[in-house]
Amino acid sequence: MILGGGRNILFTGDFNGLIIRNRIEFVKIISEDDKYVLVTAGAGMNWHSFVLYTIENKFPGIENLSLIPGCVGAAPIQNIGAYGVEIKNTFYELEAVDLNDGSSRIFSSDECHFGYRDSIFKQEAKNRYAIVNVTFRFNKKNVLNTSYGAIEEELKNRISPNQLFAMSAML
């Protein structure tokens, strides 16, 4: 059993097996041009900390997903989403280890079969892979998703990612 933060696990008896807590925590800019930046984060990194990193570095795209508990590696498993944004919107690829043979594999967005709060990792690949890192592609242009009901009603003009973060944290 591989744990991220372990916040959603409650053992009511003995567990017959190995439990591994993912502690792969890093952020690295992979490439950057005038329009986009590719950022890779370790799967064990706290999700909210990663969102804060993207806001501080002016990489918009996931600010609506602030305060979601868990780790970066769990985000594509669930295709997490909030306030009109889902991981699939900024997801580029992930690296995972096949638990059957130890081989490493890269999954593209298409290969993850993202659906509403769903992915290949909850279906046919469930319990087969350990996610090592996730790479996101952020548009450097300040494009905010404000179409979600409560956010859209509050906004009358263009705001910064920091302001959107603060608003979504209050809702």
DSSP 39: E
Q: What are 15-33's pLDDT values in tens digits?
A: 999 888 889 999 999 999 9
Angle at 131 between CA 110 and CA 59, to 5 degrees: 70
SS3 category, 89: helix
Say which range, 4-13, 44-53, 62-71, 158-167, has the weakest mean pLDDT.
158-167
- What is the per-residue pLDDT for 36? 96
Strands (E), 69-127: 81-82, 85-86, 91-98, 104-108
Q: What is the mean pLDDT of the chain?
A: 88
- What is the per-residue pLDDT for 141? 80
Residue 2 — very low, low, confident or very high, per pLDDT cuts 50/70/90? confident
- What is the per-residue pLDDT for 146? 56
Residue 157 — very low, low, confident or very high, per pLDDT cuts 50/70/90? low
- What is the per-residue pLDDT for 152? 58
- pLDDT: which is higher, 146 or 36: 36
The whole-angstrom separation of Cα 84 and Cα 80 is 11
Residue 1 — very low, low, confident or very high, per pLDDT cuts 50/70/90? confident
Question: Is 81 a residue whose pLDDT tops 60?
Answer: yes
The whole-angstrom separation of Cα 130 and Cα 47 is 17
- What is the per-residue pLDDT for 8? 75
Mean pLDDT, to the nearest integer, of 68-88? Answer: 93
Q: Are 166 and 133 in contact (CB under 8 A)?
A: no
Mean pLDDT, to the nearest integer, of 41-59? Answer: 96
DSSP 5: S
The whole-angstrom separation of Cα 75 and Cα 69 is 10
| CATH architecture of the domain with range 24-170 | 2-Layer Sandwich (3.30)
The whole-angstrom separation of Cα 35 and Cα 143 is 12
**In the chain, alpha helices (H):** 47-56, 75-78, 149-154, 161-170
Question: Is 148 a residue whose pLDDT tops 70?
Answer: no
**Can you say whether the dihedral through the CA atoms of 57, 61, 67, 68 is positive or negative?**
negative
- What is the per-residue pLDDT for 7? 73
